[in-house]
Amino acid sequence: MNKIILYIMFFLTLSSCSQNDEKIEYLNLSVGKVERIENFNSKFIPSRNVDVWLPDDYSDDKKYAVLYMHDGQMLFDSTTTWNGQEWGVDETMERLLKEDKIRNTIVVGIWNTAFRHSEYFPQKPFEDLPEAFRDSLLNTDNEDQESSLFKTEVNSNNYLKFIVHELKPFIDNKYATHSDKKNTFIAGSSMGGLISMYAICEYPEIFHGAGCLSTHWVGIFDTLNNPIPQLFSEYLEHNLPSAQNHKIYFDFGTETLDALYEPYQTKMDSILVKQGYNDQNWKTLKFEGENHSERAWNKRLDIPLKFLLNKEN
């Protein structure tokens, strides 16, 4: 595919997840409710909003698993998103709960910021890139628009520290949660799929499962002479958590940006198989005709939720 076209597609996708500058007074939810923590302060990363979705029958007398999700402003209400799309997390979660398909769960939607690419790009593989290639990505004075993806130095290690050491203790203290690993999950799409993969690898003692939809294995928008996917596969091979007590979900479509992913996903899948993952703790699905959008992720969201949040394990 033409590099310019790929860039435009990626830019549109990136924009679809960027933080809305307007203050949102409420969310138009079909089911459940969202409690917003505005400008959650962190010593690791810039402050941002955090939306906590609670099911209709939420009660302090119960205990709930917790699903942390990235790009939080795109999850619940299409009337507040720039592109009029949403994941439909509230409707899908409530339906699965009523059908008794998943355990009692709350969802923590972490808003992104202008530094989304720098916060979601796995830091250890980035630091292993050839120096000249790495520097070219961070050179904001470069006329190549590729450099605009990274507004600052890659900071995903600190982003994960924020989730693990600041946000999770706050959520476990404020809400009636199961705080153990078996009931702690993380999920996202595109770059959010990358950081979810990175999270379960870096903190296998914290996260039991990761949902990685349309994982952006190319890291940037160009596949020509791009060393990033190889470094991702090497990182996964050396850091994949034990198959004995973790679950991982991957998927991809076949249109727009998703059309790039299959050969890279196939390689990652071979690593999981080699390290003992099977259909009990790992799933990779291909969705013919689906593109890289919230609307596409909405349509299949029930599949990773049922796989990760089922009551058996």
Segment 233-244 shows an average pLDDT of 98
Tens of pLDDT, residue by residue over 10-36, are 444 444 444 444 444 457 787 999 999
- pLDDT range class, residue 8, cuts 50, 70, 90: very low
Residues facing 177 on adjacent strands: 64
Q: What confidence score (pLDDT) does residue 81 get?
A: 67
Measured distance CA(115)–CA(152) in Å, rounded? 7
Distance, CA of 235 to CA of 232 (rounded, Å): 5
**pLDDT at residue 177 is higher than 70:** yes
**Residue found by looking up tokens 């202008």 in the block:** 114
User: Which of 20-29, 134-143, 289-298 tops mean pLDDT?
Assistant: 289-298
- The answer to whether the CB of 113 falls within 8 A of the CB of 119 is yes
Q: In this model, does residue 6 exceed pLDDT 70? A: no
Contacts of 289 (CB under 8 A, 6+ apart): 253, 254, 255
What number is the average pLDDT over the span 265-275?
A: 98
Neighbouring residues of 142: CB distance < 8 A, sequence distance ≥ 6: 136
**For the domain 3-309, what is the CATH superfamily, name and number?**
Alpha/Beta hydrolase fold, catalytic domain (3.40.50.1820)
Question: What integer pLDDT is reported at residue 15 of this predicted model?
Answer: 43
- Identify the residue with better confidence: 85 or 224: 224
**To the nearest whole number, what is the mean pLDDT of the chain?**
90
Mean pLDDT, to the nearest integer, of 162-168? 98
**What is the DSSP annotation of 188-230?**
EETHHHHHHHHHHHH-TTT-SEEEEES--TTSSS--TT--HHH
Q: Would you state the pLDDT for residue 127?
A: 97
| pLDDT of 148 over the 70 cut | no
Q: Tell me which residue has tokens 């996917």.
A: 229
Pairwise CA distance, residues 94 & 118, whole Å: 33
* CA–CA gap between residue 272 and residue 263 (Å, rounded): 15
Cβ atoms of residues 14 and 116 within 8 Å? yes
In whole angstroms, what is the distance from residue 154 CA to residue 117 CA? 8
Share of the chain above pLDDT 70, in %: 88
What does the pLDDT read at residue 82?
59
pTM of the model: 0.91
Helix, strand, coil % in the chain, rounded to nearest 5: 40, 15, 40
The pair of three-digit structure tokens given for residue 274, joined into one six-digit string: 């080699």
d(CA 29, CA 79): 10
pLDDT at 273 exceeding the cut of 70: yes
Model confidence pLDDT, tens digit, residues 38-61? 999 999 999 999 999 999 999 999
Residue 85 is predicted with a pLDDT of 72
Whole-angstrom distance, CA of residue 207 vs CA of residue 278? 18
Of 23-37, 66-80, 104-118, minimum mean pLDDT range: 23-37
Pairwise CA distance, residues 27 & 30, whole Å = 10
Most confident of 7-21, 88-102, 143-157: 88-102
Q: Is 312 helix (H, G, I), strand (E, B) or coil?
A: coil
Q: Where are the domains of the chain?
A: 3-309
CA distances from 78 to 40, 81, 198, 214, 298 (A): 23, 5, 28, 20, 11
Contacts of residue 62, Cβ cutoff 8 Å, sequence gap at least 6: 104, 176
Q: What angle do CA 306, 312, 313 make, to 5 degrees?
A: 85
